[in-house]
Structure 1
Amino acid sequence: MKIFFLEKNRRCVTSYLSFLLVLCVSLLSVVALYSCGSSDSAPSDNTTIVITPKSGMDLYGFIGDTEGKPIEGVIVTDGFTCTQTDNKGIYQMKKNNKTTFVYYTAPADYKASAATFYQKISTSKERYDFKLNKLSGSETNFNLICIGDPQVTSNSEVTRFKDETMSDIKKFVDASSKPVYGLCMGDMVGDKPDLQTQMKTIVSSTSMPVFTTIGNHDKVAGTVTSEPRNSNVFCSTFGPLNYSFNRGDVHFVCLDDVAYSNSTTYDGGFSDDQVEWLKQDLSYVSKSKMIILYYHIPLRNTTSIVNRNNILELLKGFSEVHLMCGHTHYSENCAVTTPISTYEHIHAAACGAWWHSVINGDGTPNGYAVYEVSGNKITNWYYKSVNFDKSFQIRLHKGNSSFGGTYGYFTYGQKENSIIANIWNADENWTVNVYEDGINKGYMTKATSITTDAWSEGYHIGVVGRDPDNYNQPAKHLYIYQMSNPSAKIKIEAIDRFGNKYVQDQIVNDLTTAGAY
């Protein structure tokens, strides 16, 4: 009997040790499996997910949520080809030999992160997994902030961007009752690639996810002047150049439209590969969505930009389309008429006239644009000047005023009884009423014969002594009115396309507020 119990106990111990051995081997297999993917984005439920790619498919992976459950229908791309995850959360494709990243389009019901939606491709592996975080609720209503060219060239300018622009944006984000997303319109730096990392840290310093496009000053010249500039430093900092993401009923698309022909000469344009990529990307998007396409160099209604029409043709049929860009260091809402009818929002620069003042070359204050999104429409937009309330949308001057200093003076060249209003976010759908001593006297009209802002030129060229060829940007939002009573108290009431009213009754006669806040 004693021998029987000893033998029984020995068999139990042996079985238990065998069970532990099998368990350890299984755990090691799971660890080994996930080591083939990204360690910070692998599923977390310890489920062994085996992927057997089809013949010729050398780029594949698994996309799941934080519990390891597969997510179906996620668009994945290498920047040339787009595909979707299947019902097991698996994607696979033939990798393009020019690709450097694999990345996904954030679905509307999952968090969008500018830092984790991509992985750099390594020659040593083919599998890349991603883990997505589910949103707690719908984001069909949100605020969008668009930042034009920071274009920093020194640590002092980085500090100004942080303390002025981003400090103002942080206040907006903290006060918002809705989610806030940010787009940067390129030229994060002014030919100073070593500042890119600092700028990424700064734009990421609020709770607002910020997605960035590349500008001409973000590209770096090589050692051979005949070769086009490259985007290597920018990509190592910010990731892919052409990508998309979804928020609510909006599909965002970023494209690089800066085409260098050598180390110094560039123009706006898109490659055939970009046209094909966008065609594939949009094929997965419902026509009921709004498309926001953003890039650096304005497209306007010009025909000189390579593949402009081919890109815009792909946007036909969607519920609403808006184009977002920067580059010019002046503000303009441009009505694009062909091959689609839409608005191109050309954003003034965060750096203004290259950090020599607190204004752009057209008199627009340093700042950023705010768009309120509801469903598949933009229901309101306005320009937010740094260190000013959002109601500050107008600056008034006498039409015969002269502004300047040591290096010259500038004037609007108008009669003594005329008033000039600089309304930096205006377009053809604004109405500008004039009151003299409280009595409505009619409307201001566009000052089509005045092409530049004398107040801005007076400071940048006349006082600071900057190059006139670079500091006389077009001012496309000047309005004029001839007063019937030159001694009357003037008040301007501008009403935008959404019915918002902006009032100004102070006439600016000097340059005090041009140089500093």
Structure 2
Amino acid sequence: MKSTLAIILTAMAASPLFGAVVRNIPDKDGMTIKGVVYCGDEPVQGAQVSDGVNVTLTDENGWYYLASAKECGHVFVCNPKGYKYTRKAKYPEFYKTVDTERPSAVEQADFELERDEATDHTILFLADIQMCGRNEDIRQYEENAVGDINTSISNARKQGKDVYVITLGDQSYNTYWHSYNIGIPEIHESMNLLDPDAIFNCMGNHDNNPKIAGDWAASTDYREQWGPTYYSFNIGEIHYVVLDNIEFTNAECKNTFECNITTSVIKWLRKDLANVSKDTPIVVCMHAPLFYRPQCSKPNVPDPTKYRYNYGSQFYNSVKGFKDVRVFTGHAHTNYTVSYLNMTEYNVGAIGGNLWWTGYFVNGNSVCTDGSPGGYRVLDTSGKELKTYYKCIGFDNGYQFRCYDLNNCHITASRFAPSYKNPADIDTWLANGYGFDSSDYNSDGTPKIPNRVLINVFAYDTNWKVEVLEDGKPLEVSRISGYDPFSMISDGCQRFEKTGHNNSGNPTQNSHLFLVTAKYATSPLSIKVTDQYGSVYTQVMERPKGFSIDRYTPQNEQSAIFDIDSDSYSYPPEFYNINGIKVSRPENGLYVMRIGTKTKKVFIR
């Protein structure tokens, strides 16, 4: 009698009906990985678990089984809605390592989750940090980027949101791993300076060991620090997928790679998404872009949208059944947005601009190759509603465009690289087609087409609107493809000047540029940019406007901007000298500018 009662009591105590998690999981034939997913004393049913090849769901006991060959070296869990991961320091504990040398041995890997009923959250997408100990990149990162990112995190928390960081690959710069002794372990420590609720990482081409050939072997350092190179998780109402779209061959140790989502990763992706409701927004993070950078072969006529790499159609076929798919990528060190059917890709400018060079030349001046300031993408969610914007490091959130007075943008060696010994090299460099040289300007520096203004709208997409007024009258605005002049002097000319060569300081042609021609050379322009959410960004451009690196650094640029509200946009600016006399065409000097009911002292150079 006693023995029977003891057996019954033991079984009852172990039963999930009594709130206990049973961890003594029996083996099953052919199953090499097993485990339990739990939260406190309760099993978690319906959690998705994968070894990178197979995907399964936990049962009512929180148990799972996988018939795994363990070729990926990890098993990982996708947290269900209503749960989040436990963390070790800043990193989520979503994976466990398995023994690849004993593929037939049975291993148990358990996962603990925490309750999380929050739905609204903020994500910061950081692309191409690429620190290696060169160009004072660590100092630039710690002094400029970290504080800016943590301020964004703090501001989101004040709104009651959880905040996460997702990197988009190339956290490190493998070209210099072994010469500067800074690789992924050291970058791991630098990432700890950030203060989100958790940091998720994505694999980039420069996160592979340059001395090892083969995609799997070369990713060992990455996997040892950050786990699987592809996986998924849920936050609130959103399903996130991190993909590895870099196939690192490294033939003859020449750092060679292909931008590709392999067949095995595509197969895993389809298995992963098979368990996701089609009305769930999908956010995909990967390193290399999905689409080509948009261009306009003719003003206001966008070129057709094309996949940049061969995996594009396979990827689309994997996600085509979902209503809303957002793709965040890096690699290009530029900003652009492409919408195609149910997908929108945001290619995100680099944290370090163009490999930290411009900030090395002039402290605080981080510039990407398309002229965008170095920065990151912010995604704010409210339920299933997604809003995103580009955050420029060192600037406030409203800094979404930069404007140039092309009357003053003549680029010459004497002006921007006066110490360079072979100025003809700069003429040749400009003549390659970048512009702002003798093709656009006369020998005395005056423009061949006067009074043009160029506006670079960093995060533009086709749902945005750009408007410009002169004396209260609208100007014709043309979207064009071209080069950003500030990128040219901040990067290319500075390389000639300070390094004696220009190996890679070249601008990138982009189509988030807008051209207007004013009637006068000195009239201020009211510029209004409206994004797809109805947010309005405005400023009055004082003209003539100088063109130099110092003029556009964060401190000088923001202090010179006169923001106007949407209601005052249609009012033409009025200028008064220090004696209170109205001036119709102000020349250089100090004035009081009034627009509507707002006034500000301005100094026109």
**Coarse TM-score class (shorter-chain normalised):** 0.7 to 0.9
The separation in 1 between residues aligned to 2:59 and 2:21, in whole angstroms, is 17
Match of 2:477 among 433, 444, 448: 444
8 Å Cα contact 1:57/1:94 also seen in 2: yes
Query: How do 1:155-234 residues align onto structure 2 when only pairs under 5 Å count?
Result: 156-176=136-156, 177=159, 178-191=161-174, 192-193=176-177, 194-204=182-192, 205-222=194-211, 230-234=218-222
Paired residue for 1:453?
Answer: 484
Is contact 2:319-2:325 (8 Å) kept?
yes
For 1:508 and 1:267, how far apart are their aligned partners in 2? 43
Query: For 1:500, which of 535, 538, 556 is the aligned residue?
Result: 535
1:444 is matched by which residue type in structure 2?
V
Give 2:465's aligned amino acid. T
* TM superposition shift of 1:126: 0.4
Gaps (5+ residues) in structure 2? Answer: 1-5, 292-304, 359-365, 421-425, 441-446, 556-605
Are 1:295 and 2:328 an aligned pair?
no
Shift of 1:47: 5.6
Q: Which residue of 1 aligns with 2:259?
A: 268
- Shift in CA distance, 260/207, structure 1 to aligned 2, threshold 3 Å: closer
Match of 1:133 in 2: 114
2:70, 2:98 within 8 Å by CA — same for their partners in 1? no
Distance 1:497 1:463, change over 3 A: same
Which position in structure 2 is the counterpart of 1:37? Answer: none
SS of 1:202's equivalent?
A: helix
Kept in 2: contact 1:394–1:504 (CA 8 A):
no
1:394 to 390, 401, 411: 401
Q: Distance in 1 between matches of 2:242 and 2:122?
A: 18
Q: Distance in 1 between matches of 2:36 and 2:189?
A: 29
Deviations 1:474-493 (A, max 9, x none): 23211100102222111211
**Matches of residues 47-58 of structure 1 in structure 2 within 5 Å?**
48-58=22-32
Partner of 1:370: 378
* Cα separation, partners in 2 of 1:228 and 1:82, compared to 1, 3 Å: closer
Equivalent residue for 1:384? Answer: 391
Where do 1:331-346 residues align within 5 Å?
Answer: 331-335=335-339, 337=340, 340-346=341-347
2:38 is aligned with 1:64 = yes
**Structure 1 residue aligned with 2:309:** 305
CA distance in 2, matches of 1:80, 1:305: 23
User: Residue 113 of structure 2 aligns to which amino acid in structure 1?
Assistant: L
Unaligned 5+ segments in structure 1 are 1-21, 34-44
In the alignment, the residues of structure 1 paired with residue 27 and residue 118 of structure 2 have an alpha-carbon distance, to the nearest angstrom, of 34
Report if the CA contact (8 A) 1:268-1:299 is conserved. no
How far off is 1:382 after superposition?
A: 1.5
Q: Distance in 2 between matches of 1:223 and 1:468?
A: 26
2:510 corresponds, among 475, 492, 498, to 475
AA at the equivalent of 1:129: D
Per the normalisation by structure 1, the TM-score is 0.84
CA RMSD of aligned residues (A): 2.6
Match of 1:405, as an amino acid?
Answer: A
Superposition deviation, residue 302 in structure 1 = 4.4
Q: Partner residue of 2:580?
A: none
Distance of 1:395 and 1:49 partners within structure 2:
59
1:463 alignment partner in structure 2: 494
Q: Distance in 2 between matches of 1:386 and 1:313?
A: 36
- Measure the CA separation in 2 of the matches of 1:171 and 1:198: 23
> Which of 309, 312, 318 is equivalent to 1:314?
318
Q: Which residue identity does 1:206 align to in structure 2?
A: D
In structure 2, relative to structure 1, the CA distance for the partners of 1:468 and 1:419 (3 Å cut) is farther
TM-score normalized by structure 2?
0.72
Tell me if the contact between 2:478 and 2:515 (Cα under 8 Å) persists in the aligned partners.
yes
Q: Could you give the per-residue CA deviations for residues 56-79 of structure 1, whole angstroms, max 9, x where no partner exists? A: 00100011112x210000000001
Larger RCO (CA under 8 A, 6+ residues apart): 1
For residues 416 and 164 of structure 1, what CA distance do their matches in structure 2 show? 37
Cα distance between partner residues in 2 of 1:120 and 1:350: 31
Q: Does 1:511 align with 2:549?
A: yes
Q: 1:47 to 1:283 in 2, by over 3 A?
A: closer
Q: How many residues are aligned here?
A: 467
Could you tell me whether the CA contact under 8 Å between 1:396 and 1:508 is conserved in 2? no
What's 1:39 paired with?
A: none
Is 2:126–2:167's contact at 8 Å kept on the other side of the alignment?
Answer: yes
SS at match of 1:476: strand
